[in-house]
């Protein structure tokens, strides 16, 4: 996990509609940047829907919510449509941002070691500095936790 007080690494990734976005595009706004393992899995769905429900409160506070996983643009589009998600889902199939934000780690699933995304959420200020970092977050609790952190 990246240290609080460090500059958030920039990236250029495509959203669920195929539009490219850079972290710099959001300068001047607070960013809730969350990394999650996979679209349409129970924990990730719970987390995404929680951010969706609280999204008006995030925008009221001048914050942008962005979810990143290694799923494809097409997978993100289906996920967005299925749950009516109002925020950006960025596809990082090359793992560039996932590795830059230090969320790609060895995981132990039923005794089998695999590499994967560790559910992590960063709060980035208007100048692109990480001001909060939450690792191994509980999917269902994370949206409210981030709203409180704002």
Active site residues: 44
Q: What residues pair up with 117 in beta bridges, in sequence order?
A: 104
- Rounded CA-CA distance 13/81 in Å is 19
**Terminal Cα distance for the chain, rounded:** 20
3-class secondary-structure state, position 24: helix
Angle of the 42-60 helix axis to the 142-149 helix axis, nearest 10:
20
- Rounded CA-CA distance 69/39 in Å is 8
Question: What SS3 string covers 50-94?
Answer: HHHHHHHHHHHCCEEEEEEECCCHHHHHHHHHHHCCCCEEEECCC
């Amino acid at each position: 996990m990246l240290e609080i007080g460090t500059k958030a690494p920039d990236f250029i990734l495509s959203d669920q509609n195929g539009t490219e976005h850079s972290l710099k595009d959001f300068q001047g706004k607070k960013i809730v940047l969350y990394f999650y393992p996979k679209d349409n899995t129970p924990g990730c769905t719970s987390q995404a829907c929680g951010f969706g429900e609280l999204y008006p409160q995030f925008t009221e506070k001048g914050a942008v919510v962005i979810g990143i996983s290694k799923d494809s643009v097409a997978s993100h589009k289906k996920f967005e449509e299925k749950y009516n998600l109002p925020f950006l889902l960025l596809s990082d199939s090359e793992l560039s941002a996932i590795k830059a934000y230090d969320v790609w780690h060895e995981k132990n699933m039923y005794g089998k070691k695999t590499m994967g995304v560790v559910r992590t959420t960063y709060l980035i200020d208007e100048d692109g500095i990480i001001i909060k970092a939450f690792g191994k977050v509980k999917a269902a609790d994370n949206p409210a936790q981030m709203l409180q952190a704002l």
